Structure 1
Amino acid sequence: MEHIQSSIEKILNRPDVAASVRAIHERVLSHPGVIMFLRTHPEIDQRTIERGMLKLNEYAEQMHGNQIIEKKAVIEGYQPVLHLEKGQIMVAYEKTQALRDLENERALEKKFKSLFLPDEVRDANFSDFDLTTTDRKLALRAASQFLNATRSKQQTKGLYLHGSFGVGKTYLLAAIGNALKKERVATILVHAPGFVSEAKRRIRTDSFDSFLESFQTVPVLLIDDIGAESISPWVRDELFGIILQYRMMHRLPTLFSSNLSYDELELHFGITNDQGDKLKAMRLMERIRTTTNPIEFLGENRRRY
Structure 2
Amino acid sequence: MEPIKSLMKGLIGQQELQRRTEKIRKMLIENPKIRSFMDQNPQIDQEKWTRHLPELYQFVEEWQHCAHCPGLEQCPNMMKGFRPELINDHGDPALTFKACPLLREDQNRRRQSRLIRSYYVPKEILSATFKTIDKNEVGRQEALKAAGDFVRDYLKDPETAKGLYLCGEFGVGKTYLMGAIMNSLAQKRHVASLIIYVPDFFREIKGAIQDNTVDSKLDVLKKTPVLILDDIGAETMTPWVRDEVLGSVLQYRMMEHLPTLYTSNFNYDELENHFSYSQKSGIENVKAKRVMERIRHFTKLIQMDGKNRR
Q: TM-score, normalised by structure 2?
A: 0.79
Give the gaps of 5 or more residues in structure 2.
1-6
Residue of 99, 105, 123 corresponding to 2:103: 99
1:162: Cα distance to partner? 1.9
Instruction: Check 1:12–1:256 CA distance in 2 against 1; reply closer, same or farther (3 A cut).
Output: farther
In structure 1, the residue matched to 2:163 is 158
The one-letter code sitting in structure 1 at the alignment partner of 2:40 is T
User: Is residue 232 of structure 2 the alignment partner of residue 236 of structure 1?
Assistant: no
User: Is residue 200 of structure 2 the alignment partner of residue 194 of structure 1?
Assistant: yes
Instruction: Check 1:94–1:296 CA distance in 2 against 1; reply closer, same or farther (3 A cut).
Output: closer
8 Å contact 1:68–1:79 — kept in the other structure? Answer: no
Q: Indicate the larger mover: 260-269 or 247-256.
A: 260-269
Instruction: Check 1:120–1:77 CA distance in 2 against 1; reply closer, same or farther (3 A cut).
Output: closer
In structure 1, the residue matched to 2:77 is 73
1:75: Cα distance to partner? 2.0
- Counting matched residue pairs gives 294
8 Å contact 1:190–1:223 — kept in the other structure? Answer: yes
Residue of 152, 161, 177 corresponding to 1:172: 177
Identity %: 36
Give the gaps of 5 or more residues in structure 1.
1-6
1:217-238 CA distances to partner (integer Å, 9 max, x unpaired)? 2222121101112333443333
Aligned residue for 1:84, secondary structure, equals strand
1:77: Cα distance to partner? 2.4
1:41: Cα distance to partner? 0.4
8 Å contact 1:62–1:68 — kept in the other structure? Answer: no
In structure 2, the residue matched to 1:220 is 226
Q: Indicate the larger mover: 233-242 or 36-45.
A: 233-242
Q: Indicate the larger mover: 100-109 or 46-55.
A: 46-55
Distance 1:11 1:231 in 2: 94
The one-letter code sitting in structure 2 at the alignment partner of 1:168 is G
Q: Indicate the larger mover: 144-153 or 59-68.
A: 59-68
1:256: Cα distance to partner? 0.6
In structure 2, the residue matched to 1:282 is 289
8 Å contact 2:135–2:141 — kept in the other structure? Answer: no
Residue of 136, 149, 152 corresponding to 1:148: 152
In structure 1, the residue matched to 2:3 is none
In structure 2, the residue matched to 1:46 is 46
Q: Indicate the larger mover: 257-266 or 17-26.
A: 17-26
Q: TM-score, normalised by structure 1?
A: 0.80
Instruction: Check 1:101–1:298 CA distance in 2 against 1; reply closer, same or farther (3 A cut).
Output: closer
Residue of 81, 84, 87 corresponding to 1:83: 87
CA RMSD of aligned residues (A): 3.3
Distance 1:248 1:81 in 2: 50
1:192-226 CA distances to partner (integer Å, 9 max, x unpaired)? 12333444566666876554333222222121101
Structure-to-structure mapping, 1:246-257, within 5 angstroms: 246-257=252-263
Distance 1:17 1:206 in 2: 76
Runs of 4+ in 1 over 6 A off after TM superposition: none
